[in-house]
Structure 1
Amino acid sequence: MPPPVPVETIEHAISFLHDDVPSLAACSLTCHALLPISRVLLWHKVVLPVKSDGSHSTRTKAFLGLLDCESAIAPYVRSLGLRPENHECSHGEVSFNRTALDALSTRLPSLRSLRLHFLVIPSLYDVVMLLRDLPKLETLCLHSVSLGGDNWLSRRVPAWPEQPVLEPFAESGNPSLWALRTLSLIGGSIHGEEVTRLALFLERARRNMPKLEWIDFCCAMLPNGPGADVVLPAVPSFVPSLRHFGITLSDLHYDGISAEGREHMQRVISDLPQCGSLTSLYLRYDRRIAYLGYTVRHRVLGMPPPYTPTPFFLEHLADVLSTRAPTPLPLLESLSLVFDSPTAWLVGFEAAFARLAKVLVGTDDSSDVRGASLKQYPRFSHLHVRTSFLSTVMLISGDAGMEEQRRRQEMERVDLVLPMLECFVRAGVLVEVTCD
């Protein structure tokens, strides 16, 4: 009779079923010895729907009822996601309910990750309160989250409380420590002043978050009202300790170059050499306002576009990264470039991408006489280029013609973008190109 297969080997095999809920459920009922690993994989990540008024959905109530009946499940839940129950809800329709979250978080002692999707919060000060009240939280991700109010563009940003409220202290008098490692704002539209306030708070409260190593400020930055200037966040003072940094840049307005946005772009990219520990960089180039201006002039007024998009963004990035002695980002492994604009707006970027490739991966003769690499960025191995504008088209035109737009995007992805990145591919870099 062959020897029995060790439980550890079976658990390893079961781990490959991490996304197959029916199979994991069957494993949990097959053998008591497989129950722990099955529960780890079944319950480590829970995503729950939120009703339009922010209260618990039927599914969430059922989950709470399950915890009442089987309390042993709660310690396995490490990641919680909240998103609108009705997937057809527009942005800004479903509010984040802190009381409803508290009813969940108090029941989940091992909760380490919280992700909010397409919800509305009063201000980013609510993020600060979450970090303070959930000190064991390691990841907080706001995906396409917006600020509340009937008119998100003209709404005034509420004042934040004074600094002593932001920096709680433990009973010993020493700063209380928070476990936060990752804070991401991805997508959505938030007032630039709010994002700047959050960035300044992170600098002041750095001693509360010694493990913080991953920051994304990658949402659209709005002005505080019509005609007002946009307050934009700078590179945080503690970037030398970060492993990842992401930020949105925009230097285009409805009818041309925005001097304020161009200055911010230059300042942020020029400050990147301070980020000596970065292994991952995420830069989002937002050109949606320019696209809307182009659409109005071209389709409504029948006027030609006032300017041609230029690759200044990539050229300046290549200029900064090409600096030697010392190399600006010596540990860089991954670069993500997101262009919020039509894929066709990358026409004319060929030379800029070629220069960036020469800086990051060198040329075929980038080695000395012994064959040793002379590349500035020997660790660089991953490039993700994404164009994103279908949601903008849908906002303008609805569903009409979306299939044709998707086909055009795919054709431009293959015929326009991929050939631009051939230098990276030949150098062995993993290149991803997505269009949505």
Structure 2
Amino acid sequence: MNIFQDIRNRKNTKSAKWDGLQEVFGTDDLIPLWVADMDFPAPDAVVTALKERAEHGIFGYTLVDEEVKQTITKWLKRRHKWLVPEQWLSFSPGVVTSIDMAIQALTSPGDEIIIQTPVYTPFFNSIRNHGRQIVENPLVLKDGRYEIDFENLDEKLKNAKALLFCSPHNPVGRVWTQEELEKVASLCQKHSVTLLTDEIHCDLIYEGSRHIPIASLPGGISKRTVTFMSPSKTFNLAGLQASFIVTENAAMKRKIDNQILIQGHKNLNTMGITAMQAAFEHGEEWLHELMNTITANRDYAINELESNLPGIHVIRPEGTYLLWVDCTTLGLESMDLKKFMIEKARVGLNAGTSYGSGGEPFMRINLACQRSTLQEGIERIINAVKESDLLS
């Protein structure tokens, strides 16, 4: 059986995506295509490793040992041509936790931190909650593809302490080219700005694009870069709470590691460590099949939406399993658009307003589900728009 088409009931499993519908949307009678986890089971090797570890029966403090670290560095070398010594690695429960701790360790209250909107929602709180100031360098939508406004970025970096960078970008799906990354790196060096780069979607890349860790570029940018990664998005392991940080600069790493200790995150979850190692050692074939499935879902969703709803424009992602849909032609205000998708279409989507300026007329759709689930959700959207006569 193809596990990517095998529907497993996630209700009553304490799933945020499925069991959190009532709390988030006010009803549980929706097709959930929102929060970024997958409806696919993890690789068999991960499940087997977890079962074997569970059968041992003792769950004391667990080390991230040399074997685990080597598994990570081999993955980065094999998948991204990035040579990372083990001593550059730090660990935390999740990427957002890591971002919070890096901001606390490497910036001060009142410092300006740049984000490129519309962007991953937690970025905003990671800056605000620690008394730092958000400065926006809005992305520019040009001919159906988002670009960085480098002139604006150059100006904003003059007074900034850090750039919180999303690569690949969530929600717009860009996989930044080497030329774009080199420009970002050059400007950060020019203004002596710390580069904090969230690369959690780095393994979810469609054919024709290639993810390049920005810290792997020559020219010295690695000395001022902190990279956040995790197997959680790649292998659907978010609930197991394991991520890693790559920092070449020894002084910066000491500050981050100290902040990890202060916050009480010295030890990772035993099962998270087990799953991370198994995924990176044995998950490559599974990942290949995953990308085939998501690519087919992407192409299906774009074709159905644009063929049946003239005027609706979908940004074709180069990476991630997320679809960014421009609903401007529906003529609805952002809150009314969100309400329409819930009450009329009966789908649970992420509203573009939560991603900051530029996201207002958009909705984000999660493609990482079985085709039958996606088909039901897309058909509901199409039928609701037609029945409401919004495109006439």
Q: One fold, TM greater than 0.5?
A: no
| TM-score, structure 2 as length reference | 0.26
Select the structure that is richer in strand.
1
**Which has a greater percent of helix?**
2
Higher relative contact order (CA 8 A, sep 6+): 2
| Higher Cα radius of gyration | 1
Compute the TM-score of the two structures, normalised by the length of structure 1. Answer: 0.24
